[in-house]
C-alpha cells in the first residue's frame, strides 16, 4: 500500500498504515481527576496555582480551548475515554461506580488499549481505575480481580480500584491487591481539606502517599519498558487520583500555591506531569511520544465537601473552572470543558491553540489514525479522529458534527457550533438548583449561544424554536442509532 507522508509529520513518520520500517509513536495519556479549566496558568492568566510543567507542554504543543469530557463525573468519562463510546449507552445511565462495583466495560468491546496492543504496542494502565472489577455484585478482594484492566487490553495495571475517597483503600497490581485491605479505617482526613469514606484499608496504606507512589510507578514503567524493548512503542494511560478529594498534598508541595490545599494538590499534579516528561526525555522519547494532558471533569471548586462548594473562590479568589458556569457534575460547561494539551514535537505545531470542539471519546479514533487503521463499526461509536486538528492542518469544517454532554444526574445536552441545547432546567449535577421543574408556559430546557454568552447566562430557548427542534431531533437520532461516528 502506498503511503502518504502528511505535512507536519517528522521525518520517517507516516500516516497511512504503512509503518514498516518506522516506529509508531508512544502515546502517553495523563488524565487528572477533577482538575478544572481555570486551574492551569496556560488556560487562566489569573490562576493562583503555578503549573510550569503543564504550561511548558502547552508552549511546546497545542492547547485545545473547546475540549470536553463526555460526562461531568468520573466513571462515565473513563468509560468514554477507553471505549470511544458515550457511557449513557452502557448500563450506567447516571452517577458513578464505587470501589466494589463489577466491571462496566464488556470484555468483548475494543478499547484504546486493545486496539494499540493489536498493533504492536505495550500497554499500561496506571492509577485510578473506577470502571469496576470482577463479575460479582460486590467485588471480593480475596479473589482474582478479573475482568479488570488486563482483560481490556492492558498488559500491565498498577493502581487503585476507584476514587481515593472510596474504599477499599489498597494498591492493585494486575489482578491482585498488593496488600489485601484487611483493616478498617474511619472516615478520615488527610489535611484540612481531606476527606474519605470509612471502610476497608490495607496495612500501611496512606492516602497522602498515593499520587507520589503512582508517579513512581509511571516513571518505573517507562524506564523498564525502554530498557527491555526500546524499539517497541508503548501506550500509557495514567489516570491520576488528584486533585479529587481527599485533598492530600504531599509535604513537598505544601504552600506552593495561593489557593490552599486544593491549589497545592494541583501543584502536585503538575509535578507528576513534570516527572513523566523528564522520564520521557531521559529515555530519548521526547520526539517519538504523543503526550496528552487533560482532566476527567470540571473542578468541584471546593475545600469542604458538600458544605462550601465555592469556598476556593471565596477564600482565595481562585477560579478553578475559569469563567465557565457551573462545577463538576453539572451540565454547564464548568462540569465538562477541560484543559487538553497535546505535545508531539515535529508533528503537533508548538505554541498553538485549537478551537475545534473535541471530546475525550476521540482518543480511540485518533489512535486508530495514528496506527493507520479503520475502526470496526462496533467500536468507538462516538469517537472522531482529531489528529488533523492536532497536526495543525487547515480544516474547512468542524471534525465533529456535534457533541453530546451528560451530567451526573443524567441530564443531556447537545452542542453544535455556537449553540448549546440542554434538555432540562437546572444544573443536573451539584450546583443549585439541580433540577428545576418549569411552571406552565416556561421553557422546558435551556438554549445558549456560547459565542455571545460564554457564561451560559441568558436562556434563549423560547426565542429560537427552530434551533431547539433541530438539535432535539439530532440528539434523538444519536440516541436511537447507537452511534454518532458516521459509518
Ligand atoms: Ca473526576
Summarize pLDDT for 65-105 with one digit per residue, the tens. 999 999 999 999 999 999 999 999 999 999 999 999 999 99
Q: Say how many Å lie between the CA of residue 232 and the centre of ligand 1.
A: 32
User: Residues of 115-135 as b/e, b for ≥16 C-beta within 10 angstroms?
Assistant: bbbebebbbbbbbbbbbbbbe
Q: Say how many Å lie between the CA of residue 266 and the centre of ligand 1.
A: 13
Q: Say how many Å lie between the CA of residue 264 and the centre of ligand 1.
A: 17
Q: Say how many Å lie between the CA of residue 353 and the centre of ligand 1.
A: 25
Query: DSSP letter at 296?
Result: S
Question: What count of residues does the chain have?
Answer: 487
Determine how β-strand 156-160 pairs with β-strand 403-406: unpaired
Q: Say how many Å lie between the CA of residue 18 and the centre of ligand 1.
A: 38
Q: Say how many Å lie between the CA of residue 33 and the centre of ligand 1.
A: 4
Q: Say how many Å lie between the CA of residue 178 and the centre of ligand 1.
A: 24
Q: Say how many Å lie between the CA of residue 46 and the centre of ligand 1.
A: 23
Q: Which residue has the cell 505535545?
A: 343
Q: Say how many Å lie between the CA of residue 256 and the centre of ligand 1.
A: 23
Q: Say how many Å lie between the CA of residue 461 and the centre of ligand 1.
A: 30
C-alpha cell at 394: 487547515
Q: Say how many Å lie between the CA of residue 211 and the centre of ligand 1.
A: 15
User: Is the four-CA dihedral 247, 253, 254, 258 of positive or negative sign?
Assistant: negative
User: Is the four-CA dihedral 433, 439, 441, 445 of positive or negative sign?
Assistant: positive
Q: Say how many Å lie between the CA of residue 335 and the centre of ligand 1.
A: 10
Q: Say how many Å lie between the CA of residue 437 and the centre of ligand 1.
A: 28
Q: Say how many Å lie between the CA of residue 244 and the centre of ligand 1.
A: 6
Please tell me the predicted confidence (pLDDT) of residue 187. Answer: 86
Please tell me the predicted confidence (pLDDT) of residue 21. Answer: 43
Distance between CA atoms of residues 386 and 369, nearest Å: 9
Q: Say how many Å lie between the CA of residue 74 and the centre of ligand 1.
A: 4
Q: Say how many Å lie between the CA of residue 17 and the centre of ligand 1.
A: 35
CB 161 within 8 A of CB 99: yes
Q: Say how many Å lie between the CA of residue 80 and the centre of ligand 1.
A: 13
When the pLDDT of each residue in the chain is averaged and rounded to a whole number, the result is 93
Peptide bond into 55 cis (omega under 30): no
Q: Say how many Å lie between the CA of residue 297 and the centre of ligand 1.
A: 5
Please tell me the predicted confidence (pLDDT) of residue 301. Answer: 78
Please tell me the predicted confidence (pLDDT) of residue 188. Answer: 76
Please tell me the predicted confidence (pLDDT) of residue 352. Answer: 98
Distance between CA atoms of residues 45 and 58, nearest Å: 14
Q: Say how many Å lie between the CA of residue 73 and the centre of ligand 1.
A: 5
Q: Say how many Å lie between the CA of residue 272 and the centre of ligand 1.
A: 17
Angle, helices 210-228/260-282, rounded to nearest 10 degrees: 10
Q: Say how many Å lie between the CA of residue 88 and the centre of ligand 1.
A: 17
Please tell me the predicted confidence (pLDDT) of residue 45. Answer: 98
Q: Say how many Å lie between the CA of residue 31 and the centre of ligand 1.
A: 9
Q: Say how many Å lie between the CA of residue 93 and the centre of ligand 1.
A: 16
Each residue's pLDDT expressed in tens, for the chain with a length of 487 residues? 333 344 434 433 444 433 334 679 999 999 999 999 999 999 999 999 999 999 999 999 999 999 999 999 999 999 999 999 999 999 999 999 999 999 999 999 999 999 999 999 999 999 999 999 999 999 999 999 999 999 999 999 999 999 999 999 999 999 999 999 999 998 876 555 568 999 999 999 999 999 999 999 999 999 999 999 999 999 999 999 999 989 899 999 999 999 988 999 999 999 999 999 999 999 999 999 999 999 999 999 765 444 444 478 888 899 999 999 999 999 999 999 999 999 999 999 999 999 999 999 999 999 999 999 999 999 999 999 999 999 999 999 999 999 999 999 999 999 999 999 999 999 999 999 999 999 999 999 999 999 999 999 999 999 999 999 999 999 999 999 999 999 9
Q: Say how many Å lie between the CA of residue 143 and the centre of ligand 1.
A: 27
Q: Say how many Å lie between the CA of residue 30 and the centre of ligand 1.
A: 13
Q: Say how many Å lie between the CA of residue 230 and the centre of ligand 1.
A: 34
Q: Say how many Å lie between the CA of residue 401 and the centre of ligand 1.
A: 26
- The secondary structure of 132-178 as a DSSP string is --SSSSS--TTS---SSGGGGT-SEEEEESS-TTSS-B--EETTEES
Q: Say how many Å lie between the CA of residue 296 and the centre of ligand 1.
A: 5
Q: Say how many Å lie between the CA of residue 409 and the centre of ligand 1.
A: 15
Please tell me the predicted confidence (pLDDT) of residue 8. Answer: 38
Q: Say how many Å lie between the CA of residue 394 and the centre of ligand 1.
A: 33
Amino acid at each position: 500500500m502506498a503511503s502518504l507522508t502528511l505535512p507536519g509529520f517528522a521525518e520517517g513518520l507516516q500516516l497511512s498504515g504503512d509503518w514498516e520500517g518506522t516506529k509508531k509513536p508512544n502515546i502517553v495519556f495523563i488524565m487528572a481527576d477533577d482538575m478544572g479549566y481555570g486551574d492551569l496558568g496556560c488556560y487562566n492568566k489569573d490562576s493562583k496555582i503555578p503549573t510550569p510543567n503543564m504550561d511548558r507542554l502547552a508552549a511546546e504543543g497545542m492547547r485545545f480551548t473547546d475540549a470536553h469530557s463526555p460526562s461531568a463525573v468520573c466513571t462515565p468519562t473513563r468509560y468514554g475515554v477507553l471505549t470511544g463510546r458515550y457511557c449513557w449507552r452502557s448500563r450506567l445511565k447516571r452517577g458513578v461506580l464505587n470501589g466494589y462495583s463489577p466491571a462496566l466495560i464488556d470484555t468483548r468491546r475494543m478499547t484504546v488499549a486493545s486496539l494499540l496492543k493489536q498493533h504492536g504496542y505495550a500497554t499500561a494502565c496506571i492509577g485510578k481505575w473506577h470502571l469496576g472489577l470482577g463479575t460479582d455484585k460486590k467485588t471480593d478482594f480475596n479473589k482474582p480481580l478479573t475482568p479488570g484492566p488486563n482483560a481490556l487490553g492492558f498488559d500491565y495495571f498498577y493502581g487503585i480500584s476507584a476514587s481515593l475517597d472510596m474504599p477499599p483503600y489498597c494498591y492493585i497490581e494486575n489482578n491482585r491487591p498488593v496488600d489485601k485491605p484487611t483493616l478498617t479505617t474511619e472516615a478520615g482526613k488527610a489535611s484540612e481539606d481531606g476527606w474519605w469514606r470509612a471502610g476497608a484499608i490495607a496495612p500501611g496504606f496512606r492516602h497522602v502517599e498515593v499520587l507520589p507512589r503512582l508517579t513512581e510507578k509511571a516513571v518505573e514503567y517507562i524506564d523498564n519498558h525502554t530498557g527491555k524493548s526500546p524499539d517497541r512503542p508503548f501506550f500509557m494511560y495514567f489516570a491520576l487520583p488528584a486533585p479529587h478529594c481527599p485533598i492530600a498534598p504531599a509535604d513537598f508541595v505544601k504552600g506552593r500555591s495561593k489557593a490552599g490545599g486544593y491549589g497545592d494538590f494541583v501543584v502536585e499534579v503538575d509535578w507528576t506531569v513534570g516527572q513523566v516528561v523528564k522520564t520521557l526525555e531521559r529515555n530519548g522519547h521526547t520526539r517519538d511520544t504523543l503526550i496528552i494532558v487533560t482532566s476527567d471533569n470540571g473542578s468541584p471548586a471546593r475545600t469542604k465537601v458538600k458544605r462550601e462548594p465555592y469556598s476556593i473562590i471565596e477564600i482565595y479568589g481562585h477560579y478553578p473552572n475559569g469563567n465557565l458556569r457551573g462545577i463538576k457534575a453539572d451540565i454547564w460547561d464548568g462540569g465538562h470543558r477541560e484543559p487538553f494539551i497535546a505535545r508531539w514535537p515535529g508533528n503537533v505545531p508548538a505554541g498553538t491553540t485549537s478551537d475545534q470542539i473535541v471530546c475525550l471519546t476521540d482518543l480511540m479514533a485518533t489512535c486508530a489514525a495514528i496506527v493507520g487503521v479503520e475502526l470496526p463499526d462496533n467500536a468507538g461509536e462516538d469517537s472522531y479522529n482529531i489528529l488533523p486538528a492536532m497536526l495543525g492542518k487547515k480544516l474547512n469544517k468542524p471534525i465533529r458534527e456535534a457533541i453530546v454532554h451528560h451530567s451526573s444526574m443524567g441530564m443531556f445536552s447537545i452542542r453544535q457550533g455556537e449553540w448549546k441545547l440542554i434538555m432540562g432546567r437546572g444544573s443536573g449535577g451539584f450546583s443549585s438548583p439541580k433540577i428545576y421543574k418549569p411552571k406552565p408556559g416556561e421553557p422546558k430546557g435551556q438554549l445558549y449561544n456560547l459565542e455571545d454568552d460564554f457564561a451560559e447566562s441568558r436562556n434563549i430557548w423560547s426565542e429560537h424554536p427552530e434551533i431547539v427542534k433541530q438539535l432535539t431531533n439530532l440528539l434523538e437520532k444519536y440516541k436511537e442509532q447507537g452511534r454518532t461516528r458516521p459509518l
